[in-house]
Structure 1
Amino acid sequence: MLALLFLLLPHLSSSQLDENERIAEYHKRQHKWPPAEAEFTPQTPGWRNLHTRRFQQITRIEDGTAKYNGYMSTVHSALLAPNFTEYGWALTKGPSDLVELLLARLITGINREDTPVELPDADQGDIRDEYPEELPLMVSIYGLHQRVLDELLPIHEAWSNTKLIGNNAYGLRVYRNQSNLQMHIDESATHIISSIMHIGHDPDGEPWPLVIEDLHGNTHEVFLETGDVLLYESSKCFHGRPKRYNGKWYSSIFTHYYPADWNPKRNEMNVHYRIPPGWHLQPEEVVEDLDELIVTETSFKEPGCEHEWCALKKTTKWTMPQELQHGQIISSDGVIKPLVKESEDEL
């Protein structure tokens, strides 16, 4: 039947997984499906309801590869990935001198015709005219990546109350007109505690929200200005920019960290073994009013809804409060709090 479970799935790298062995391991671990309420992490009703609906949507996907990938991301997010914070995201301010330096590099880059820009995996050079306008470009920050990681590290450690190791700083990524980014979670091995530090955007462009689900099942639209930092548990909380951007350019830098005691590969096989044996079968019972879900590798969209994401019908919209200072955060509860470590000993 499924002697070998697909070749070269994104989550499997170049490995092959024997389906019979996978099912045997599932039973050995005494897993059950659907998951028990106590398995959801965290055990908030909203988080459980959010992912129960997503699991129901995944059962109706007909393409086998897409369906398995949908299970991989959702099982990891809903059941296996630990959470480090109460809500999974927060807003704070970045270091002003670093932001000013990056903004200067950005403005210089987008105004110079000979600025080195590139797409991921593309050669250096001025290639802006060779790619469709909606694809993002990169403006070099000339070796500042480690400085970004180092200066933002204390913010991430204080927010997560966890000793962290920097994995990478990525950017400056420059989105262009009609760009969008479908909902997804990030690399589960290394992108655990992350941030988006917004550097700048076309002043004549339309506001462009980052959409993120919190750990209580609520969906938020976050509008960032220069120097604003969105902290988020990036391999835990689904996020993206499903609305298309109307403007010339929009640029941020992304940082990713993982806990110092983290084993980057410890969860990979656990996710495979948690997917139910009958994952490839279509459900006998049809859930009414369940929106279609399409999974492409690690990206999720709901084509039947506006902007291809149904939760956008009801969101909480956020901009940085004017009274929030550097060293403070705000999240789903709307309360401004100091960004401090709970225990120096733990870090």
Structure 2
Amino acid sequence: RMSERLVSALLPWYQTHRAEAVNESLVSGGYLNDDFVRVLFLPVWGTSTPLVDLLMDEVGAMMGWWTGMELQHASTYGARVYQRGAVLLNHVDVMNTHLASAVLQVHQVVDQDEGWPLEILTASGDCYEVYLQPGEMVLYEGARFKHGRPMMFRGEEFANVFSHFHPVTWNGVRHENFPDVKAEL
């Protein structure tokens, strides 16, 4: 779960700025069906510097605790707003920067009795489905484990903010040097 401080800043930020969301550029890699179902994007950068600082500080502290490592912030995206019919195929993130990742749920309008789980596949082949509500977050190793939302979204909107970190000592050159950020989910 996000801290109350983060919830009380991030969720109202989304509601205030939601109308400013624009069509996101097509995401490379072919793991989104965004050529058929447009995905909207609401940048956090430029709308609220205090919110960006809060996101980096709070999520960074939680990531450091979770991994037990000194981490460097790589990126924090604004809200990606998925719409009815969206699919996010399982994929791995950028190995150079996205080793420890967080998905922060900021808004959702789903059909009755529906959700849209984040699927995480471990190296041993186990599959975990994580359902989030606004104000909740999940931490995962984005560059190590395949993850996505491969089931078609049934609802009107589903908005996530993403934040990524890597160990300070990570050079990202070769897979065999991949740090053991977190042995298990």
TM-score for both structures, normalised by structure 1: 0.45
Give the aligned partner of residue 137 of structure 1.
Answer: 40
- Return the match for 2:148 from 233, 236, 240: 240
Offset, 1:97:
2.1
Runs of at least 4 residues of structure 1 off by over 4 A?
none
Letter in 1 for 2:92: I
On the 8 A contact 2:111/2:154 being kept in 1, the answer is: no
Instruction: Confirm or deny: 8 A CA contact 2:85 2:153 kept in the other structure.
Output: yes
Aligned to 1:197: 104
Aligned counterpart, 1:117: 21
Equivalences for 1:4-43 in 2 at 5 Å?
Answer: none
Percentage of matched positions with identical amino acids: 28
Quote the Cα distance in structure 2 between the aligned partners of 1:244 and 1:191.
Answer: 25
5 Å-filtered alignment, 1:166-185, equals 166-185=73-92
Alignment partner, residue 307 of structure 1: none
* SS of residue paired to 1:147: helix
So what's the TM-score if we normalise by structure 2? 0.80
Q: Which residue, 187, 208, 212 being the options, matches 2:116? A: 208
1:231 counterpart (139, 153, 159): 139
Query: In the alignment, residue 100 of structure 1 is paired with which amino acid?
Result: S
For residue 153 of structure 1, give the secondary structure of its aligned residue in structure 2. helix
- Say whether residues 1:150 and 2:57 are aligned partners: yes
- Counterpart of 2:17, as a letter, is G
Alignment of 1:290-309 (within 5 A): none
Which consecutive residues of structure 2, in runs of 5 or more, have no partner in the other structure? 27-33, 178-183
Paired residues, what number? Answer: 167
Larger RCO: 1 or 2 (CA < 8 Å, sep 6+): 2
Q: Is the 8 A contact 1:133 1:177 kept in 2?
A: no
SS in 2 for 1:248: strand
User: What residue in structure 2 maps to residue 256 of structure 1?
Assistant: 164
Quick check: which has more Rg, 1 or 2?
A: 1
Alignment of 1:92-103 (within 5 A): 93-103=1-11
Provide the residue aligned with 1:188 in structure 2.
Answer: 95
- 1:104 and 2:104 aligned: no
Distance in 1 of aligned mates of 2:36 and 2:10: 23
DSSP-derived class of the 1:240 partner = strand
The offset of 1:160, in angstroms, is: 0.8
SS of equivalent to 1:235: coil
- Higher normalized helix content (fraction of residues): 1
